[in-house]
Amino acid sequence: MTRLAALVVSGLLLILSAVLEPNLADAQPGVRIARVSYFSPGSLGAPGHTGLRNALRDLGYVEGRNIVYEDRFADGAFGRFPELAAQLARSRVDVICAVGPAAIQAAKDATTTIPIVMAFSGDDPVRSEFVASLARPGGNITGLTILVADLTSKRLALLNEVVPGLTRVVALANPTNRSTADELRELAKAAQALRLETQVVEARERSQLDGAFAVIAKSRAGAVLVFADPVFVANRDRVVTLAAASRLPAVYAWREYADAGGLMAYAPNREELNERTASFVDRILKGAKPADLPIEQPTRWELIINMKTAKALGLTIPPSLLRLAQRIIE
């Protein structure tokens, strides 16, 4: 090889190295680089994605110095999970942070050795056979569980308190979400207790949202309960806009909806979820075994009320409810 050719090849290798591993530029010699994946049914920039990175940074994990991220997003296409999980298993990351039951199941099916942290599980992790028990998970999975079905009754009660003379509620649900069946059962029980009629309208992807709300607008319902679902969260601006166009009060599963103009959200506190997920990752990277780390549940919840939206809908929020709210958007 001529000297010129050698220089050209050397230069190309340097360029490829910079392209393939840009985040390792600041790595210190001798420092072990942790490889962590955020495995989500949502999209890049999902609320928990940035929050988890910030929480890990607070624990001393600086991207490019002692941690790199190999994230995977299904973009609402649940059928992509098996291949994405297989990619992570082949890459042998140190920890997979899986968001929601479908991602957890796919990660569990793909590996029995890589630690999996449930950023949250939307259903019972014992019944789903993710873990042996909450106290002693027993395998390669640990983390946080949020029983989303338990929150459905609380959200329905909020609508009943806010909307005068409410008799009928529509639930917007994604039938491909594993948590939906549990939410529907809880909705039926709660509606019976409150003597409310319910109707379920389905949407599996963004392209079906407009049609779903067209059905909702003709349903004679007095309010909408939007189930917890990554497709809906990723398209929250559209969901909120459609709810506003239908002139129907709606309650949502995450604070980001209220920030986008939704009437109300009742949800676990995002900061706590991120901090506790990061704590699981930190302990595992320092040698703890998932089998020995008990499953945890959120302890902080938040009610967010958007008063601008309430005014636009002609609703008067009861003072008792305002006193319970952790945040009021004026």
Q: Which residues make Cβ contacts (< 8 Å) with residue 313, sequence separation at least 6?
A: 247, 249, 263
The per-residue pLDDT for range 270-287, each reduced to its tens digit, is 999 999 999 999 999 999
Identify the CA nearest to 174 among candidates 257, 82, 101, 109. 101
Beta bridge partners of 169: 198, 223
The per-residue pLDDT for range 52-69, each reduced to its tens digit, is 999 999 999 999 999 999
Residue 277 pLDDT: 97
Contact, 95 vs 115, CB < 8 A? yes
Percentage of the chain exceeding pLDDT 90: 76
Residue 152 pLDDT: 93
> Mean pLDDT for the chain?
90
Residue 1 pLDDT: 46
DSSP state of 296: B
Q: Which of 38-47, 101-110, 117-126, 228-237 has the highest mean pLDDT?
A: 101-110
Q: Cα torsion at 103, 106, 112, 118 (round to 10°)?
A: 10
Q: Specify burial of residue 112 (Cβ count, 10 A radius: 0-12, 13-18, 19+).
A: exposed
CA gap 178, 229 in Å, rounded: 10
Q: Residue 101 has which token pair?
A: 């039951």
pTM of the shown model? 0.83
Residue 45 pLDDT: 75
Beta strand pairing call for 301-306 and 264-268: antiparallel
Q: DSSP of 78-98, one letter per residue?
A: GGGHHHHHHHHHHHT-SEEEE
CA gap 182, 170 in Å, rounded: 16
Q: Taking residues 201-224, what's their average pLDDT? A: 96
pLDDT above 70: residue 14: no
CATH superfamily entry for domain 23-146+270-292: Response regulator (3.40.50.2300)
Q: Taking residues 226-230, what's their average pLDDT? A: 91
Q: How many CB atoms lie within 10 A of CB 69?
A: 18
Chain CA centroid to CA 40, Å? 7
Residue 29 pLDDT: 59
Contact, 232 vs 256, CB < 8 A? no
Beta bridge partners of 193: none
Chain CA centroid to CA 152, Å? 16
Helical H runs in 140-259? 148-162, 180-194, 209-217, 230-234, 236-245, 255-259
pLDDT above 60: residue 314: yes
pLDDT tier at 210, thresholds 50, 70, 90: very high
Residue 28 pLDDT: 56
Residue 30 pLDDT: 60
Q: How many CB atoms lie within 10 A of CB 218?
A: 9
- Domain 148-268+301-329 is found in CATH 2.60.40.770: no
Q: Taking residues 8-27, what's their average pLDDT? A: 43
Residue 11 pLDDT: 44
* Phi-psi sector, 204: left (phi>0), alpha (psi -120 to 50), beta: alpha
Q: Which residues make Cβ contacts (< 8 Å) with residue 248, sequence separation at least 6?
A: 170, 216, 217, 221, 222, 223, 224
Residue 57 pLDDT: 98
The per-residue pLDDT for range 91-136, each reduced to its tens digit, is 999 999 999 888 999 999 999 999 999 998 877 899 899 999 999 9
Location of each CATH 3.40.50.2300 domain in the chain: 23-146+270-292, 148-268+301-329
Percentage of the chain exceeding pLDDT 70: 91
pLDDT above 80: residue 147: no
Residue 289 pLDDT: 98
Residue 81 pLDDT: 94
